[in-house]
Structure 1
Amino acid sequence: MLTENLTTPESELRDGRSDGRSAGLDRAIANAKRRLLALQNPAGYWVFELEADCTIPAEYILMMHFMAEIDQGLEAKIAHFLRAQAGSDGSYPLFKGGAGDLSCTVKVYYALKLAGDAPDAPHMRRARHWVLRRGGAAKANVFTRIMLAMFQQVPWRAIPFIPVEIMLLPKWFPFHLDKVAYWSRTVMVPLSILCSYRVKARNPRGIDVAELFSTPPNLERDYFSQVKTPLGKAILLLDRCGRLLEPLIPGFVRRKATSQATAWFTARLNGYDGLGAIFTAMVNAYEAMDYLGIPADNAERRIARAAIDGLLVVKADKAYCQPCVSPVWDTGLAVLALQEVDRHDHEQSSRRSTDTALRWLAGKQLRDQPGDWQTQRPGLAGGGWAFQFGNSYYPDVDDTAVVAYAMSQAETPAFAEPIRRAADWIAGMQSRNGGYGAFDADNDHYFLNQIPFADHGALLDPPSADVSARCIMLLGRLDGAHPEYSATIARCVAYLRAEQEADGSWFGRWGTNYLYGTWSVLLGFAEAGVSANDASVRRAVAWLKSKQRADGGWGESNISYHAPNSRGEFDTSTAFHTALAVLALLAADETGAPEVAAGVGYLLNTQQADGGWQDDCFNAPGFPKFFYLKYHGYDKYFPLWALARYRNRQHGLARAR
């Protein structure tokens, strides 16, 4: 809660003036804009590091040993990075400041041991004791146990039954690839080959981690202790029956299924961007290609490995691997921030930068390429954008809304067709309940989250408030000229009203967390024509104001995904969350509120000499409760966007509609 005596260094803000002419505010915006423009690639895009927890760099080391393709210099740099991320108790968290995670710690321990760290080294001893106090590696999650099975550290009965024959199941069957999320499909298909044939890691140094088990792995009888619900236990029984019956599967059936799985993932290898353009799917595909006998000098196999290596961030003394890259998302959001600045500044050099960025984005629109979404929406014409440089089978609804919105603000005739195609595609991807998923429509077969493979609870891509809000942000902007979107918008607004939490906030599926979700919806509501006096908006405003910290900022930890009562709260403010809160309040016509002025003051106070801000926290989930991310661009363009919009509202510059 904002304290009454909070002040900012800007006299105009301190005295309550709202004419927006603060020289300090102008200077802060100019410095932040200069820094953001300096980070633009000459081709027109922005792409910032996308950091995940330590599972991804650990898995890169594990992949090198699985394949016996070990780059010792790179391995040493990744190991150096991993050691520095350990908590004081030796464990590894899923996000900075979080509690230790068993599966992450097991993977890092194994990776470091493969890299040559001695088990009796202090950091290894602390990690091992921490793992054993929590039941040992047998209690790790499914993905970790699959890795351990391939390295021959646990028996194959320790993992779920993942037969390649899933490729042959009819669509009416309770499980089908079309019923799970895009990331699940791209991970599972090559993985089903590895698991069906029980492929063994080469592990050339013969490194084991027997010391991480409380009970010898072959004697362990409780690998699925996490299955608690009656439905989960019933499915687990079927899983075990399937494994018992596996020897009865005719050889020709397995060969046919393997052929279909191979054809499926090789069709989606996606060149230098990789299968699904996500690390785990890319590694599974690369290892499956090796098992299938595709030679090392095969062009597709070499490109598949190059795609994985393209995710590395290598510095002088350390390295880590990203889960994917985010150029389309970063570029769309950076353009929105600069457009807000230029509504006041009218600088030709900056306009040229945003125009170059938008033209680069226009060239990335996915129009006639095949996509998995077409099985859900036959006949719907393509028009989306991927999240990454290339991911033709999987355009991203959220990215598409942001990019098309930025194009609509440019008011350039050349963008009219890309905008229309994007809006039509988004309208056609609406789910039955009125909301939007990130990649799929009606991907809400929730019972599948009970299968043993899905212990991460993220097998599906159901609608979420944040993505849905971005969709009506675009469609609402276009509604005046395209009334055909009105019914779509109305259904989505109704969905969002139903999703509002009792305290007035909205859940953030793709950004941390309730602050992100509430920001998303209030911006969407403003464009969709929902009045700032609407009861749902007023509840959200009250919630936002109640979460402001004494320093004028806002902050939220990923802990709120695990403990919802902590929503909107953190032990420190961040520039990212403060920017979200300011933007959300401005969308609700709260320009003159003292909370907004104080939030702006926090951003001015914390800006660094180079014009940027520095947030150390992880600011988004990949999968809530399971996998978290840090977008390194969020503390660069969101604060600039918030400061520029505040200045524009103070000047009375209306949103371009």
Structure 2
Amino acid sequence: MDSDQIKEKRDFSRPSEHLVNQSLSLAMDYTWDKMQLDEHWRGEALCNVTITAEQVFLFQCLGKSPIPDAELYKRYILSEQKDDGSWPLVTKCHGDISASCEAYLALKILGMSPSCQEMTKARQFILKAGGVSKVRLLTRISFARFGLFHWDAVPHLPAELILLPPSLKFNLHRLSPWARSTLIPLLVITHHRPIYALPNGRSVANDFLDELWVDPTHKMTSHSSLFTSRELDPTELLFSGLDTALSYIGGLRRFPLRKKALRYCIQWILNNLEQPGECPEISLPIHNNILALLLEGFSQDSPAVKVGMEAIKRFTCQDETGKRLQTCESPVWDTALMIRAICDLGWNTYDDRLEKSIDWLSKLHMPKIRGGLPGFRTQKVLRGLSFQHDKNITPGVDDTVAVLLSMLHQNSSKIKSDTVLRAVMWICEMQNSDGGWGAFNTDNKQWLNKTPLKALRHSSTTDLTGYVLEALGMVLNIASQKDSEDLRLWLAQTKVLGVIATASQRAVRYLAQEQEESGRWYGRWSAGYLHGTSAAISGLAWFADGDNWVKDMITSAVSWIKEVQNLDGGWGEGFESCNDRQMAGKGYSTPSQTSWAIMCLLEELDPDDASIRAGINYLLAQQQDTSLKRQGASWEESNYTCTASPGSLYLRSQLSSHYFPIMALGRYRKAMLCTHAD
């Protein structure tokens, strides 16, 4: 298709000022309507069916018969089935063998007949994909609990891992909080190797899913593929060899330290469950925590188990599609980004509702981190101040940066508060040796991701580094204002400015090293290159004045953004770009990804640029007016754009498709007023 044809499909006309204002007005009506308890926002974090399937498995393990709300769970799982009978990890993506097998088992437990059309199509897809033997590790463990896999077909996870000292390169402190909260209860479960009953009874070699095996007479399938990739990797071979050795000695299950290790695991679980408000903010570990406690002698009526069951209810959602579980909650993130969006559109920053939401965030600061592993001192990097919701265990750089940006945009004078200052210093302490930032621990090594459990580490990422750099740049900018001499003197005395300047310089160098030849950056936490590039530019823009090196980086990135604009004027990218760079910037347009791109372009181009016009027109056209219900208007997107665990778990934040377009439209309106005031 030539350039003339492309132009004909995009709307390059200048967006009407009236339409932009009307769009933002309706969007704000929706924003206030969605406010929770007049103080914060909390959108649903949609994910694939596996989390809901695991809820069905938990009920089955607990002997709940009939399973509560079985028809509602069944309706939801069926609503997510694709035409080819499969279930995907991401909407509009190909089916996934593990998700499909889990959905199939859940439906069969819920009473679906294998001969019905939906189950027949699912079975055909699964067998064509290689059968149930091809599922990933966590699915194998779930199925082994019912005798559908032999426990010897699951990698050994010795509980003694919790006893490894921090001085070793591999210890649980180096794992991401997600991996740690997932792994520790699995250490208990894989020690006990339980076998729970299915509707056809209890058996160590249950034939309940025999129809999903290509050859059901050979179920003792090797799990070596869980360790090794297509390319020979020494680290993967090491873990494979260790697992083989553990097989010969019974997985250390009779090792003298096993009782102590299990006791430490249970104590860690109790630390995360028994204290009010201290349950993990992801649902899958809660399922496994409950089973681990029961296997270690706790009753279903024990306080810890009851707290776990109550916590699961927080993640449960129900509507016309049925009943389902979210994988996580993100009220801190949603509230911080919504505040930022409101400020970007020029709303009165002293609005009482906005002040209440800032106060709500301020109360979530963590002056002291608890919840370390039993017997170990809390790591130095966990001291300081962070912002978290309903827990005091794992501080997150991402949430903390989002809160900082929202506070400073709402009222720049908050830079003088002790809370903000300590948070800034804590973030600087969390910087990795390469100059970037990860979400949680510092300097986690890439080799940790060679183990059977993927995504064990959170090393530096360009998108998070870009957001941190944006916050640091904003602090430096506020301090440089003419009327901020007293602030500069005070910050100089505390040596904060020097620390920020050094951290910023290192971060700029990190982003320079990570930028690809095309000008783009890869982002870890949302769909690939569009998010990574947008976040990197948002940070670098604060350091572009007088620095041609930084300007060149931004100019190169903006050129790439313009090149990948879709024919409808929007931008989109799927998760295929994670493994295939040729798919970078390619995918169905979405409101959130289009907004990221527009905000990139506004940092470098005149707001009247043709690409920006087309992007704004796309957003205006995609907004859905629900004003008849007095809820204003918003944007919807069915595509998943957030990454929880690459390759296995992706999210679609319910509110991200709302606050990102508000940011883009608000910044566009402000840029037009400043640039074309005449």
Of 468, 471, 474, 1:474 maps to 471
Contact 1:472/1:492 (CA < 8 Å) preserved in 2? yes
Note closer, same or farther for the CA distance 1:39–1:500 as it changes in structure 2 (3 Å cut). Answer: same
Comparing 268-277 and 511-520, the one that deviates more: 268-277
Secondary structure in 2 matching 1:502 = coil
For residue 629 of structure 2, what is the aligned residue in structure 1?
none
Distance (whole Å) between structure 2 residues aligned to residue 379 and residue 462 of structure 1: 14
Of 486, 493, 497, 1:483 maps to 497
Residue deviations 1:348-407 (CA, integer Å, cap 9, x gap): 6xx222211110000111112325599685276421112xx3231112101111111111
For residue 664 of structure 2, what is the aligned residue in structure 1?
642
Secondary structure in 2 matching 1:479 = helix
Contact 1:274/1:282 (CA < 8 Å) preserved in 2? no
Of 4, 7, 13, 1:4 maps to 7
Contact 1:432/1:442 (CA < 8 Å) preserved in 2? yes
Contact 1:68/1:204 (CA < 8 Å) preserved in 2? no
User: Number of paired residues?
Assistant: 635
Residue deviations 1:312-350 (CA, integer Å, cap 9, x gap): 101245011000111000001000000112x3x5386xx
For residue 614 of structure 1, what is the aligned residue in structure 2?
636
Note closer, same or farther for the CA distance 1:479–1:376 as it changes in structure 2 (3 Å cut). Answer: farther
Note closer, same or farther for the CA distance 1:653–1:79 as it changes in structure 2 (3 Å cut). Answer: farther
Tell me, yes or no, if structure 1 residue 494 matches structure 2 residue 509. Answer: yes
Of 584, 589, 595, 1:567 maps to 584
Note closer, same or farther for the CA distance 1:591–1:115 as it changes in structure 2 (3 Å cut). Answer: same
For residue 567 of structure 2, what is the aligned residue in structure 1?
550
Contact 1:153/1:217 (CA < 8 Å) preserved in 2? no
Of 463, 469, 492, 2:460 maps to 463
Secondary structure in 1 matching 2:92 = coil
For residue 402 of structure 1, what is the aligned residue in structure 2?
402
- Name the amino acid aligned to 1:397: V
Secondary structure in 2 matching 1:313 = strand
Counterparts of 1:488-637 in structure 2, within 5 Å, are 488-529=503-544, 534-570=551-587, 572-610=588-626, 611-637=633-659
Note closer, same or farther for the CA distance 1:259–1:567 as it changes in structure 2 (3 Å cut). Answer: same
- Name the amino acid aligned to 1:604: L
Of 371, 383, 386, 1:384 maps to 386
- Name the amino acid aligned to 1:423: V
For residue 367 of structure 1, what is the aligned residue in structure 2?
367
Distance (whole Å) between structure 2 residues aligned to residue 375 and residue 539 of structure 1: 46
TM-score, structure 1 as length reference: 0.92
Contact 2:370/2:393 (CA < 8 Å) preserved in 1? yes
Secondary structure in 2 matching 1:225 = helix
Of 312, 319, 343, 1:315 maps to 319
Secondary structure in 1 matching 2:60 = helix
Residue deviations 1:85-131 (CA, integer Å, cap 9, x gap): 11111111110111111111111110000000111111111111221
For residue 131 of structure 1, what is the aligned residue in structure 2?
126
Tell me, yes or no, if structure 1 residue 106 matches structure 2 residue 108. Answer: no
Distance (whole Å) between structure 1 residues aligned to residue 154 and residue 36 of structure 2: 44
Residue 529 of structure 1 deviates from its aligned partner by 4.2
Residue 215 of structure 1 deviates from its aligned partner by 2.7
For residue 486 of structure 2, what is the aligned residue in structure 1?
none
Distance (whole Å) between structure 1 residues aligned to residue 602 and residue 377 of structure 2: 40
For residue 200 of structure 1, what is the aligned residue in structure 2?
195
Secondary structure in 2 matching 1:167 = helix
Residue deviations 1:45-67 (CA, integer Å, cap 9, x gap): 10111011111111111111111
Residue 199 of structure 1 deviates from its aligned partner by 2.0
- Name the amino acid aligned to 2:447: F
Comparing 431-440 and 174-183, the one that deviates more: 174-183
- Name the amino acid aligned to 2:646: P
Secondary structure in 2 matching 1:263 = helix
Tell me, yes or no, if structure 1 residue 156 matches structure 2 residue 151. Answer: yes
Note closer, same or farther for the CA distance 1:71–1:514 as it changes in structure 2 (3 Å cut). Answer: farther
Contact 1:548/1:554 (CA < 8 Å) preserved in 2? yes
- Name the amino acid aligned to 1:449: N
Contact 1:377/1:429 (CA < 8 Å) preserved in 2? no
Contact 1:276/1:394 (CA < 8 Å) preserved in 2? no
Distance (whole Å) between structure 1 residues aligned to residue 280 and residue 606 of structure 2: 41
Residue 311 of structure 1 deviates from its aligned partner by 0.3
Residue 556 of structure 1 deviates from its aligned partner by 1.3
Tell me, yes or no, if structure 1 residue 29 matches structure 2 residue 24. Answer: yes
Residue 253 of structure 1 deviates from its aligned partner by 1.6
Residue 606 of structure 1 deviates from its aligned partner by 1.6
Note closer, same or farther for the CA distance 1:353–1:122 as it changes in structure 2 (3 Å cut). Answer: same
Residue deviations 1:391-435 (CA, integer Å, cap 9, x gap): 311121011111111111222656722211211110000011011
Distance (whole Å) between structure 2 residues aligned to residue 596 and residue 156 of structure 1: 56
Distance (whole Å) between structure 2 residues aligned to residue 368 and residue 247 of structure 1: 37
Residue 496 of structure 1 deviates from its aligned partner by 0.8
For residue 289 of structure 1, what is the aligned residue in structure 2?
293
Distance (whole Å) between structure 2 residues aligned to residue 218 and residue 594 of structure 1: 61
Percent identical residues: 26
RMSD: 2.4
Residue 69 of structure 1 deviates from its aligned partner by 2.7
Residue 539 of structure 1 deviates from its aligned partner by 0.8
Distance (whole Å) between structure 2 residues aligned to residue 116 and residue 274 of structure 1: 35
Residue 238 of structure 1 deviates from its aligned partner by 1.6
- Name the amino acid aligned to 1:257: A
Residue 310 of structure 1 deviates from its aligned partner by 1.3
Secondary structure in 2 matching 1:630 = strand
Distance (whole Å) between structure 2 residues aligned to residue 317 and residue 410 of structure 1: 38
Contact 1:472/1:528 (CA < 8 Å) preserved in 2? no
Counterparts of 1:103-252 in structure 2, within 5 Å, are 103-203=98-198, 206=201, 208-216=208-216, 219-226=219-226, 227-228=228-229, 229-231=232-234, 232-246=236-250, 250=254, 252=256
Residue 592 of structure 1 deviates from its aligned partner by 3.1
- Name the amino acid aligned to 1:492: A
Residue 577 of structure 1 deviates from its aligned partner by 1.1
Contact 2:642/2:653 (CA < 8 Å) preserved in 1? yes
Residue 200 of structure 1 deviates from its aligned partner by 2.4
Contact 1:332/1:406 (CA < 8 Å) preserved in 2? yes
The runs of 5 or more residues in structure 1 that have no matched partner are none
- Name the amino acid aligned to 1:650: M
Distance (whole Å) between structure 2 residues aligned to residue 384 and residue 527 of structure 1: 23
